[in-house]
Amino acid sequence: MLSILVDENVPYALECFGRLGRVRVLPGRRIGAADLKDVDVLIVRSVTRVNESLLGGTPVRFVGTATIGCDHIDVDYLQPRGIAVASAPGSNANSVAEYIVAALLRSAHARGNPLEGSTIAVIGVGNVGTRVVEMAQALGIRCVLNDPPRHRATADPAFVALDEALPGAEYVTLHVPLERRGPDATEKMAGRSFFERMRPGAVFLNTSRGEVVDEDALAAAIDSGHVSHAMLDVWQHEPHIDPQMVRRAFLATPHIAGYSFDGKVTATVMLFQALCRWLNRPADIDLSAVLPPPSVPRLDLTDRHGADEDLLRAAVSAVYDIGEDDRALRQAMAQPDGGLRFDLLRKEYKARHEFHHTTVTLPKDRPSVTRKAARLGFRVQTP
């Protein structure tokens, strides 16, 4: 029988992978070589570094990561040894984009500046960045795109250099993979020069990887006022992140932007299907019978007044109150064992359903907000 070891934070592991073999779960940060002596398949998340020191001398022949990237996996070591690698690209794209919407609405409200008519520089326009662009445009935000690999591949003039993208944008958001070397290296790409090129008083968001930001340079930019708001979901040295950077951030969350319930389940299913293909077995699966109902199936905003953005902020915050995640991380980092609490916040993260599970009733005389809400993914109706 196939022996499968799975990170405990991968949902529905038993329901999916239990169809294929014997499943055991462990905390991702605690998975070591000794745990893999009789394991054929390893399913991880980003906290487990998969390399020779972990896999050397083990029978593991398939590694799946329930994440969109593989920067924590030494693919150069695995592939020559015939160890298959699978990931879940795009699984959390909508989750991250909804997080960005919630963050932008919160920042704009605090600054007293409407989002409509503003400009956002989207750095990295893959699965996540593309969805961010779609949602930003739904809010009436002009998008400036930077993605050198895609520009080289397509010659699309919509992609511009950082020198053009950064100076005119009120918001800058990172959606790049972590690349430590090569022409498109992103490690600490957001350093002193990056922040100096940003428009004074702009807002900076990072939901990609903590290592793409030089936190010393970001701290200096915040302290000087050059960056007015930093909204950070990812950090250097996770889980032992810098409490001072948390305090500097306008919005600080524990690496959960892509943690919508939908995104996590999608990633599990994608890895199950990849493993089935590797085993040459049928990959059909239906989890509908075990999935919980959405927390906010219906929302009535017909008695709300104000600008479109006010109604959209009310709808978004009812489904996903990003402030709760911010408060939880700040409380955790105020404790001596902040690193342990950081991981615990992720492990025990609530079931956050995406916008499309909620039907919003909006005033019938507000067609513009109805269109925007629908483009954000809500099911929309009028009285």
Q: Which residues are catalytic?
A: 209, 238, 255
Tokens of 58: 């083990």
CB atoms within 10 A of CB 297: 11
Tokens of 348: 């025990």
What's the CA gap between 346 and 253, in Å, rounded?
Answer: 10
| CA atoms within 13 A of residue 58's CA, in its CB half-sphere | 28
State how far Cα 363 lies from the chain centre: 32
Question: H or E stretch including 94?
Answer: helix 93-111
What's the CA gap between 220 and 213, in Å, rounded?
Answer: 12
Tokens of 159: 């992609």
| CA atoms within 13 A of residue 83's CA, in its CB half-sphere | 25
Q: Where are the alpha helices (DSSP H) in the chain?
A: 13-17, 52-55, 75-78, 93-111, 127-138, 148-154, 162-165, 192-197, 215-224, 243-248, 261-279, 308-319, 322-333, 338-347, 367-376
What's at 189, amino acid-wise?
Answer: M
CB atoms within 10 A of CB 290: 10
What's the CA gap between 36 and 317, in Å, rounded?
Answer: 43
Phi/psi-derived region of residue 249, left when phi > 0, alpha when psi is between -120 and 50, beta in every other case:
beta
What's the CA gap between 254 and 258, in Å, rounded?
Answer: 11
Place of tokens 């008083």: 201
**Terminal CA-CA length for the chain:** 57
| Residues with Cβ within 8 Å of residue 212, at least 6 apart in sequence | 174, 176, 178, 186, 187, 188, 189, 190, 206
Backbone phi, then psi, for 12, in 5-degree steps? 60, 35
Query: Would you say 205 and 180 are in contact if contact means Cβ atoms under 8 Å apart?
Result: no
